[in-house]
Amino acid sequence: MHKRATSRRSLSRRRFMAYGGTAAAGAWLVESGRPIEAAQSIPVTSDYDVLVCGGGTSGIPAAIAAAQTGAKVAVVERYGFLGGNAAFSIMPCWHGLQEHHSGLLTKFANLVEDFGVGPAPLKEGNHIEPEAVKILFQTLAEEQKVHLYLHHFITGVVMDSSRVTAVITESKSGRRAFGAKCFVDASGDGDLCFHAGAKFNLGVDGKTQGMALRFRVGYVDFDRFADWAEKAPEELKLGRLVREVRQGGGKAWGKAFYFDSRLDRLFDQFRNRYPDLPENTYFNCSSIRPNELSINTTRVYDLDGTSADDLTKAEITMRKQAWAVWRFLKENIPGFEASTMIQTACQAGVRESRTILGDYMLSEEDAAKNREFPDSVQTCRIIFDSHDKAKYDTGGNRGLVDVPYGVFLPKGLDAVLTAGRCTSCDHLMNSGFRRMENAFQSGEVAGTAAALAVQKQQMPRSLSVSELKEVLRKNGFRTCQTDTKA
């Protein structure tokens, strides 16, 4: 368990709201050879009901849900686009979406199909075109009059006792504060809660799941690839690839497919020629465009996704790995002779970092028992995907577990809910909860609860769970396993 209190800004709300002008840019002093930041006032934007930190897979559903519940909403996002992991990691595969969707997620999946770019996710293999996610998330936010603040990093908070009253951001424009009545931390890494001093876990004894960097390879001759794979050693486990290609997968728009394999077992044979090939990995791919693969095989371990230095190491190492894998494929595997590297993801995909300790922590044991809770506000599909260095765990009973409201409430903080990957789960349960269909639905819960708390002039912790469930159900959302069975 970790706790960070040093970044808390302990200004009273009254003093904070009195801030007006701005200090000169770059106002720093030097003391004993170290730079010391000079005191400054910063511009304040503070007329929002709900502020969502993070415009990704859980953040935009949170913002849309809050706006539809009547709140004035803003989103602070670090990138110049929305979509989170689905966008910056160019992740097209939404595992489990066809079997586990409700509320806004169902509407979004249908919207993707109507948009007509890429696969229809409820019909064609749980895939969504990442570029479609970017523009559709933006469109939904604009339609609901959500105020977007892109290119903003969260660097601090303002507190009034245990209540968060504002977040501090940095951008090209300098430092800025955003005040609101309620906040949703959908940052993935729990950045808001971290700066507010919340307790959190960082993997197991500081060891988190391995990171990956997806990349796209185009101009693949799938028929030649499948012909070779059909005769390849059984240990490479390429049977699913062969079946999908024989059924037309990957050769036309709308013929999306996914295959998992152990083609990586050839890497050691070629490591002298391609020393940057990854180790302790697998070779899993999706295809959502004709003659193209989105490849997941790069890997680094023992690095912290909340450390800029470790992220730098991850980016450098895995970009080398991606190019090494492509050269290996092009020069040794039939079907890749004319292939090209089309794109590497703009950032390493962090599977696990801070999980904020909530009033309740959803556990592996809860999942094993398909536990039901009277205060459940969401269901989570139990499919683990834990990329630990010692063991890759894809267990889980494929059923559902109830998600109690307490997991969304950070211990010791008021006016804040979490959503997505940083929500209160133990290590193995987090590997299932972070999957995109679960993260998306957690955003709808957090955003709806935040808006209702503002309406009722209550803290989220005091909100009636039965009233929250009623509002969610009216929007077609499954709040518990008995809803699913109904």
| pLDDT tens digits for range 283-312 | 999 999 999 999 999 999 999 999 999 999
Say which range, 9-18, 54-63, 337-346, has the weakest mean pLDDT.
9-18
Q: pLDDT-based confidence at 64, cuts 50/70/90?
A: very high
Mean pLDDT value across the chain: 92
Q: pLDDT-based confidence at 14, cuts 50/70/90?
A: very low
Task: Give the pairing type, strands 376-381 and 400-404.
Answer: antiparallel
- Look at residue 73 in the predicted model and tell me its pLDDT: 98
- Look at residue 27 in the predicted model and tell me its pLDDT: 63
Structure tokens at 465: 């769970």
- Look at residue 6 in the predicted model and tell me its pLDDT: 40
Cβ–Cβ < 8 Å for 173, 149: no
Structure tokens at 105: 């997620």
User: What would the mean pLDDT of 138-144 be, rounded to a whole number?
Assistant: 98
User: What would the mean pLDDT of 15-31 be, rounded to a whole number?
Assistant: 52
Collapsed DSSP state (helix, strand, coil) of residue 321: helix
Tell the residue number behind the tokens 């990854």, with chain if given.
278
Q: pLDDT-based confidence at 12, cuts 50/70/90?
A: very low
Say which range, 124-128, 232-236, 245-249, has the weakest mean pLDDT.
124-128
- Look at residue 412 in the predicted model and tell me its pLDDT: 97
- Backbone φ, ψ for residue 131 (5° rounding): -65, -30
- Can you tell me the distance from the alpha carbon of 263 to that of 38, in angstroms, rounded to the nearest whole number? 56
User: What residue type is assigned to position 1 of the chain?
Assistant: M
Domains of the chain (ranges; CATH) run: 1-21+38-205+354-486 (3.50.50.60), 215-344 (no CATH)
Q: What percent of the chain has pLDDT over 90?
A: 84
pLDDT, tens digit, for every residue of 153-172?
999 999 999 999 999 999 99
Collapsed DSSP state (helix, strand, coil) of residue 236: helix
Provide the phi-psi class of 250: left if phi over 0, else alpha when psi is between -120 and 50, else beta: left
- Look at residue 18 in the predicted model and tell me its pLDDT: 39
- Can you tell me the distance from the alpha carbon of 168 to that of 157, in angstroms, rounded to the nearest whole number? 5
Residue 177: CB partners within 8 Å, gap ≥ 6?
A: 16, 19, 42, 43, 44, 45, 46, 158, 166, 167, 168, 169
- Can you tell me the distance from the alpha carbon of 86 to that of 67, in angstroms, rounded to the nearest whole number? 22
User: What would the mean pLDDT of 382-407 be, rounded to a whole number?
Assistant: 91
Tell the residue number behind the tokens 């009033």, with chain if given.
359
For Cα atoms 240, 245, 246, give the angle at the middle one, nearest 5 degrees.
Answer: 100
Structure tokens at 387: 């990329």
- pLDDT of 316 higher than 70: yes
- Backbone φ, ψ for residue 284 (5° rounding): -115, 145
Report H helices in 196-254.
222-231, 239-246
- Look at residue 32 in the predicted model and tell me its pLDDT: 80
- Look at residue 28 in the predicted model and tell me its pLDDT: 72
Name the DSSP letter for residue 360.
S
User: What would the mean pLDDT of 104-115 be, rounded to a whole number?
Assistant: 96
- pLDDT of 353 higher than 70: yes
- pLDDT of 25 higher than 70: no
Structure tokens at 213: 């960097």
Closest Cα partner for 457 from 105, 47, 49?
A: 49
Q: What predicted TM-score, i.e. pTM, was given to this entire model?
A: 0.93
